[in-house]
Amino acid sequence: MKRRNFLKACLIGGTTIALGKTNKGYASGSFEGYPEAMGVLVDTTRCIGCRSCEAACNKEQKLPEPDTSFDDPAVFEHDRRPTSKAYTVVNRYQKEQPSGPVYRKVQCNHCNEPACLTSCFVNAYTKTQEGAVIYNSKVCVGCRNCMIACPFNAPGYDYDSATNPIVKKCILCYDTRLKYGKPPACVEICPQEALTFGHRADLIKLAHERIRATPERYVDHVYGEKEVGGTSWLYLAPVGFDKLGFDTTLSNDPIISNVKDFLGMVPMVLSIWPALFSGIHLLCKNQEHGEHGHETESNQEDTKP
Amino acid sequence: MKKMIQHGLAIVDSPYDEDGKKRTLVNKLLLGLTPSQYLLQAFRNPFNWILAAIFAIGIPILIGRFFFGLAWATSGSNDYPWGLFLGFGLFAMVPLSSSGFQLGTACEIFGRHDLEPIERLALLNGLLGYFFAVMYLLADLGQPWRLPYPMVVSFGPAAVLFLVAWHVATYLSVQVAEVSTAFFEWIGFPAGKRGVRKITLGLTVSGIILSTLHQGALGALFTYAPGKVHPLWYSSSFQWLHFFVSSLPGGLCMVITVSTIAAKTMAWRGDSRFREKLDKVTVSLAKGACMGIATYITIKLIAIAHDNKWAYLDTGWGQWFMLEIIVGFMLPLTLMTYGVHTRKMAIVRLGAFMTVFGVVLNRVNTAMITFNWKLPHREIPPWREVIISLTIFATYIVVYRFILYRLPILYKWRQQEQEETVPEAVPAPALGRREASSIPVASYSSMTKLD
């Protein structure tokens, strides 16, 4: 009777978890972003590398003073990435080309189906209706799995803090601006109008419109339209995106789709293993063994080869 | 200890001492020695001096990590968030601890009672490996005091890590229950032992489920990072299978390794059953491990063929990959197969050591060395990170040895109480074995006169 109860419990529990898992896992795969999601279109052909977006972000997010000033062009010597002290950075590419260098602003791309969100075991990330991917530092355990998962290497971590280290990344100025329908600080300050704020759906149309109007100016691709299921930040570029440090090997499927093989296997193991192994046990037991292996062990020892 | 036993010390293996008096807990803890004798034998062991040196340097640095933050102790960078603590401590310790569920399954489910002399060692190896993997995790987490959050505060059930957290936590409690029978025997609480034994089958089956899932889940964690792990170590379809299957020989070979070390360094603690059956049991484990390795190599090749990654083998990374596969898996497979056939135990054991090395190398490769392989620089762990990892591992060894010295893991506890509580049990074999044992016996009082 005990065993039967155990099996029953296993099956019920397994099925419950199985249903919960598959619903979540598969439903999220077809998620293509909230219809009203906002976004930013970055036209790298317009950016002059003035870094005023970096300065505006620093001020808006109350980040610490940078090591070198925002006017110092020396920072372009090396590729930089967003950190816990700078949510956005501008890098320079194609400097040797006669057409002049190309600048690219890097920050969290606010994916429609963020890998940081789906990989987080305490659900610290939220994709808001407005399109921003925000982070709840109150529940973060500090496992840094989101940094492993992010295909754009966006989140930075407070390694220096011993008491409250948290993940820091661009949140599209959600708390101070986006929530109230205002564009992020970097977009507002951009003197070249290289950054355009708007509904993501409109921005995609706008981007393709620009490519159609001046095809010689752009490569025919909007980065972020489809990559990893689409991102709220979209990019236009004059040369191949791989030459601007973009990862062009990313699949159009969201990151979570790589994990689905495994997530789908979980309910199988939960539901099949108890029956399978209890069955094997019953088979083995009926052959020659008693109810409790340990008690009969002294007799068994001699019969085994 | 060997010297003390030569002088006629009785080994603690029953609730009663040689005068028939019930042993106190302190007496059991001190292995039947007086405090001064106990200290004497501890000081005489050169290994203890090495451990003391590691702790003297390591513990202050470990404490420092919690005061000065991760940046002070680890390489902790944004591009390589996981260093030695997880790469070695979590990802390598967990597969080496899969022994618990495997031997549990073999003995309790498949009825392989001939493997029982090693079952408790395998269960303990599982429990301690998991426990210390969690210790490494605590050292690595930014906010370790929030470790229970995924269980009680905030749930992210779609995340693989959520599965890992829940399964490791529940499996740890399963393993505590499985090992507790030895503890109950030792402290003299037969009711507890009987209680656990009633649910042994349930515990064992949950052990298989939880192990399959989270050994696989650790591999599935890397499927969140396609393109970051080098393609030869990455496979979105097979990653969990790679981790799960390689954990099988990893755990079995770890038991061979540990039992070899125990038989060499603490022969006095194993009873005649353990000593006589060890070679035979090792052969059985090695056979199982060989099947595991063969399966692992096969699915590894299938994964390369499945994604058509043959071209990568002709690169520097490919050579490193081949080295891991050949030295860590193919060579040990050959050695163990040869050793099993010719009954050359030294070769079987060498193969087992190499498999342990291969599994560790595979995990470190996946989590650290080949991670972010497209980035120009590789992360080399700074000295504080190495020392902390070493310190936690030394603690693991100390705890392991502490338990093996005392609890009936390698020997059978002569449990007189059992006669009263389980009338079916025949006390005769236990008594017979005791008389047959060649261990010299002397009274506790005569021992004290020696010093």
- Percent of chain A's residues with pLDDT above 90: 65
Interface check B442 vs A, CB under 8 A: no
Residue B355 pLDDT > 90: yes
Q: How confident is the model at residue A3 (pLDDT cuts 50, 70, 90)?
A: low
Tell me the torsion sign for CA atoms B92, B54, B175, B154. negative
Residue B441 pLDDT > 90: no
- In the stretch 225-244 of chain B, residues with CB closer than 8 A to chain A read 225-228, 236-237, 239-240
Mean pLDDT for all residues in chain B? 88
Q: Do A141 and B146 touch (CB under 8 A)?
A: yes
Residue B327 pLDDT > 70: yes
Set of chain B residues whose Cβ sits within 8 Å of the Cβ of A123: 154-156
pLDDT tens-digit readout, B36-53: 888 988 898 899 999 999
The average pLDDT across A29-51 equals 86
> What is chain A's length?
305
| pLDDT for res B21 | 82
A260/B319 Cα distance (integer angstroms): 31
Q: Do A300 and B162 touch (CB under 8 A)?
A: no
Q: Which of B201, B240, B274 is the best substitution to test chain A (most A C-beta atoms within 10 A)?
A: B201
Q: How many CB pairs under 8 A join A and B?
A: 220
Q: How many CB atoms lie under 10 A from the CB of residue B376? A: 6
Q: Which of B90, B163, B223, B243 is the best substitution to test chain A (most A C-beta atoms within 10 A)?
A: B223
Q: Do A120 and B237 touch (CB under 8 A)?
A: no
**Residue B278 C-alpha, separation from nearest chain A C-alpha, in angstroms:** 14
Position with higher pLDDT, B422 vs B267: B267
A85, A201, B288 from A169: Cα distances, Å: 9, 24, 48
Interface check B427 vs A, CB under 8 A: no
**Residue A136 C-alpha, separation from nearest chain B C-alpha, in angstroms:** 11
Q: Do A285 and B205 touch (CB under 8 A)?
A: no
| H-only helix segments in A30-70 | 52-60
Task: Specify the pTM.
Answer: 0.86
Mean pLDDT for all residues in chain A? 85
Single out the residue of B108, B101, B97 nearest to residue B133, CA to CA. B97
**Residue A87 C-alpha, separation from nearest chain B C-alpha, in angstroms:** 12
Interface check B345 vs A, CB under 8 A: no
The average pLDDT across A92-111 equals 89
Q: Do B113 and A122 touch (CB under 8 A)?
A: no
Q: How confident is the model at residue B435 (pLDDT cuts 50, 70, 90)?
A: very low
A209/B213 Cα distance (integer angstroms): 49
Q: How confident is the model at residue B239 (pLDDT cuts 50, 70, 90)?
A: very high
Q: Which of A2, A89, A119 is the best substitution to test chain B (most B C-beta atoms within 10 A)?
A: A119
Q: Do A155 and B224 touch (CB under 8 A)?
A: no
For strands A233-236 and A125-127, give the pairing: unpaired
Residue A96 pLDDT > 90: no
Interface check B118 vs A, CB under 8 A: no
Nearest to B143 among A142, A247, A251 (CB): A142
| pLDDT for res A118 | 92
Q: Do A304 and B201 touch (CB under 8 A)?
A: no
Axis crossing angle, helix B190-198 with helix B200-220, rounded to the nearest 10: 70
| pLDDT for res A298 | 42
CA nearest to A83 within chain B: B78
The conformation of residue A239, written as its DSSP 8-state character, comes to: S
> Helix, strand, coil proportions of chain A in percent (round to 5)?
40, 10, 50
| pLDDT for res B7 | 75
Q: Which residues contact A33 (CB under 8 A, 6 or more apart)?
A: A112, A113, A131, A200, A230, A232
Nearest to A122 among B140, B154, B226 (CB): B154
**Residue B189 C-alpha, separation from nearest chain A C-alpha, in angstroms:** 17
| pLDDT for res A12 | 57
A213/B323 Cα distance (integer angstroms): 55
Residue A213 pLDDT > 70: yes
Set of chain A residues whose Cβ sits within 8 Å of the Cβ of B208: 273, 277
**Residue A273 C-alpha, separation from nearest chain B C-alpha, in angstroms:** 6
| pLDDT for res A2 | 53
Residue B58 pLDDT > 60: yes
| pLDDT for res A5 | 58
Residue A28 pLDDT > 70: no
Set of chain A residues whose Cβ sits within 8 Å of the Cβ of B202: 2-3, 6
Q: Do B78 and A153 touch (CB under 8 A)?
A: yes
**Residue B43 C-alpha, separation from nearest chain A C-alpha, in angstroms:** 37
| pLDDT for res A287 | 55
| pLDDT for res A260 | 86
CA nearest to A272 within chain B: B209
Residue A97 pLDDT > 90: no
pLDDT tens-digit readout, A136-154: 999 999 999 999 999 999 9
Nearest to A121 among B144, B159, B201 (CB): B159
Nearest to B79 among A149, A153, A261 (CB): A153
pLDDT tens-digit readout, A259-285: 888 888 888 999 999 999 988 888 887
Q: Are A197 and A187 in contact (CB under 8 A)?
A: yes
Q: How confident is the model at residue A47 (pLDDT cuts 50, 70, 90)?
A: very high
Interface check B107 vs A, CB under 8 A: yes
Set of chain B residues whose Cβ sits within 8 Å of the Cβ of A227: none
Set of chain B residues whose Cβ sits within 8 Å of the Cβ of A286: none
CA nearest to B200 within chain A: A292
| pLDDT for res B375 | 85
CA nearest to B147 within chain A: A141
Residue B450 pLDDT > 50: no
Set of chain A residues whose Cβ sits within 8 Å of the Cβ of B424: 295
| pLDDT for res A303 | 40
| pLDDT for res B3 | 74
CA nearest to A136 within chain B: B154
| pLDDT for res A7 | 54
CA nearest to B241 within chain A: A262
At A93, give phi and psi (nearest 5°): -130, 170
Interface check B30 vs A, CB under 8 A: no
| pLDDT for res B260 | 95
- Percent of chain A's residues with pLDDT above 70: 83
As to burial, measured by CB atoms within 10 angstroms (0-12 exposed, 13-18 middle, 19+ buried), residue B340 is buried
Nearest to A277 among B71, B140, B205 (CB): B205
Q: Do B160 and A274 touch (CB under 8 A)?
A: no
Q: Are B282 and B249 in contact (CB under 8 A)?
A: no
Set of chain B residues whose Cβ sits within 8 Å of the Cβ of A164: 143
Residue B121 pLDDT > 50: yes
Set of chain A residues whose Cβ sits within 8 Å of the Cβ of B116: 293-294, 297
